[in-house]
Structure 1
């Protein structure tokens, strides 16, 4: 059985070393009636490196100017990276698959045979070539499984490239929208001047401590409330300006009364953001940032806790 497009099947492994030489050979091998094989060109990565670097620099600059930890933008940034990584993996698999085309072409040349599947696979535009009706008549031949696998790789790579490009555009729009809110955000920052972490409070700022106590009185008790912590992914927790209000234990997804408590906590935080100095709220894989109001879906990080399905995250200025 052939491997899946995301794995490295045995025929791909055998082809990686001789692939370059065979592709060069396949570039000008004669087929029937004057046709020649042209190896499919490599696909370009969506969004050049300069474009991505520019967006990352803008995020870093805005992060400093807009009160720190623009989680909404950083989540979009994470989505772009994940999508681009996906295109690289698929492109690598597709390059290995192109090696198969070259090997078939070389075999055909050596044996003097004529396999129509080779001419279809070796078309300069794989998306067009593989949709050619000629392929249908050869599905039953011994190369049909490989043909179908390459077709799937082509389709998946094209889809991944479209998704990556869309995520880049979404990130660009998020940045533009936030820049438009500059005056309002500056007013928020001026109203809620940053505070220093205080000793004897577990490392949280007075504003975060007040917000924690207020919400605990309104909706507590919670199974636990986690505030100050360090680490690479701590973000606002490391500055004492964030707390996680757990509504379940053991990493289980909230449902029933636990989900209702989370919904009420998030809604209360948003409604009282101006009074308490709340910067943003994350709940059920969505973020509501007061600097650019409105719920926005977040990238899938894997697991109930990472996606905030078992706790409400609240950050303050």
Structure 2
């Protein structure tokens, strides 16, 4: 076969090859990489619980907006895929005719078409026309196949993105619920003014806790580090754990006389200042009291907390926070009683 004939037959083979590619399966695209969450530098101070709630809300709304945008883009790409398939279906009869003619007549059929030309000019014209037709068809088929592949790959990627964002939205909803649960645990936004750390250190388990979570009775056998009296080992342990958590302002535990837990060595008062007692009158004092109360409540089952009184409220494990009125409104210290 001469070089000119090979050149004329090449476009026909290209058309048939393009048809085979279009009719064949489209390779599955690689799964898109998981999005990397944006990091941030941690501050020296612990985040306020209101900051955690606000951040959770912002992230939740951002994920929800991204989800809606992705669903809209997914719909647009689905329409693009359908349009590409419709255009491909419209072109299939033309490709089929070319393929059928090549199958019936073989390569010599193409030669016959060219050799039937009566003049050299007609020969060249037919050859150029056939070459151009096949080249156009091949390019069109290749372009449609490429568009179809791109659209389906993009749709697959968007499906994965939507799944990931649904997961993110659910995670943000859980984070929001957990943050609000933690805020309720420490008395709510109105009680704390939002001035409370989002997390507290975990306390070590106090002495005398039974395997079922109950606590053994204790006597005043431990020297009180805050007075000349004695307190229970469990109270001393709780005192040390609160101090270990970083609450180092003035504290007083044993106090003689009275019907409550102080004379029994089962209570401590955590002041808001370094010496003596004074009602809170700024955010620093209020937050200190909130954080002491939060630490005691979050570790109540590890320390054996009986109840906590702070800022006109009293907390019991069985009831949570309730309004409190008594000889002291406890705006100048956090009171803890132990079992």
Query: TM-score normalised by the shorter chain: which range applies?
Result: 0.3 to 0.5
TM-score (norm 1): 0.37
TM-score (norm 2): 0.34
Q: Which structure is larger by alpha-carbon Rg, 1 or 2?
A: 2
